[in-house]
């Protein structure tokens, strides 16, 4: 009886670990507020066995400079949005920033993974969590990694959570 219970617990932990790996993630998951970061968004599987053919990443407010990684076999499209208040970056007033980056191509087979990179200037807001909603299009189907936790809700409890980057103070 104890062996059966232990096997059930072990199976549950294994399933939880595999499910956690199934999400789109960003690495690193923490960065210094106000700094530059080269972030890698990992796509670890397709859609129910179907290959990935497009990845769209929505850039959160406050990120003022974004440069996407070029990937052989993929095209990149950048959509912009107007920035209110005219913040300054490198001595220039910013009136527009990247809103969304899309890669289309591949295909990325279901049994392989790949990363999609963004070089970014992060907002100087230590303690803030930046959520990057991702839409993953496949040959058959779509995965929307866009869920953002409500106040008091745990990010890990969401079915299709958006990747999250936590900003830490300088010197930590």
Per residue in 150-160, pLDDT (tens digit) is 888 787 778 89
Strand residue runs (E) in the chain: 25-27, 30-32, 36-43, 52-58, 65-68, 74-82, 88-89, 92-93, 96-108, 114-121, 129-131, 134-138, 142-145, 164-168
pLDDT at 148 over 80: yes
Within a domain: 13: no
Within a domain: 17: no
Within a domain: 11: no
Per residue in 27-58, pLDDT (tens digit) is 999 999 999 999 999 999 999 999 999 999 99
Within a domain: 8: no
Return the CATH number at 56. Answer: 2.60.40.2230
pLDDT at 10 over 60: no
Count of structural domains, the chain:
1
Within a domain: 80: yes
Q: Domain residues for 138?
A: 24-168
Give this prediction's pTM: 0.83
Cα(162)–Cα(130) distance, integer angstroms = 10
Per residue in 90-126, pLDDT (tens digit) is 778 878 889 999 999 999 999 999 999 999 999 999 9
Within a domain: 10: no
């Amino acid at each position: 009886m104890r062996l059966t219970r232990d096997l059930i617990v072990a199976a549950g932990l294994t399933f939880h670990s595999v499910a956690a790996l199934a999400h789109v993630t960003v690495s690193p998951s923490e960065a210094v507020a106000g700094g530059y970061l080269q972030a890698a968004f990992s796509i670890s599987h397709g859609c129910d066995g179907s290959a990935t053919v497009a990845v769209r990443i929505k850039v959160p407010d406050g990120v003022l400079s974004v440069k996407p990684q070029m990937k052989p076999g993929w095209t990149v499209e950048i959509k912009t949005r107007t920035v209110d208040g005219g913040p300054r970056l490198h001595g220039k007033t910013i009136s527009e920033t990247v809103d969304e980056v899309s890669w289309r191509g591949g295909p990325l087979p279901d049994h392989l993974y790949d990363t999609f990179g963004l070089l970014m200037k992060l907002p100087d807001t230590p303690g803030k969590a930046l959520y990057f909603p991702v839409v993953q299009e496949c040959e058959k189907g779509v995965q929307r990694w866009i869920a953002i936790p409500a106040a008091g809700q745990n990010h890990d409890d969401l079915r299709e959570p958006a990747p999250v980057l936590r900003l830490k103070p300088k010197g930590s």
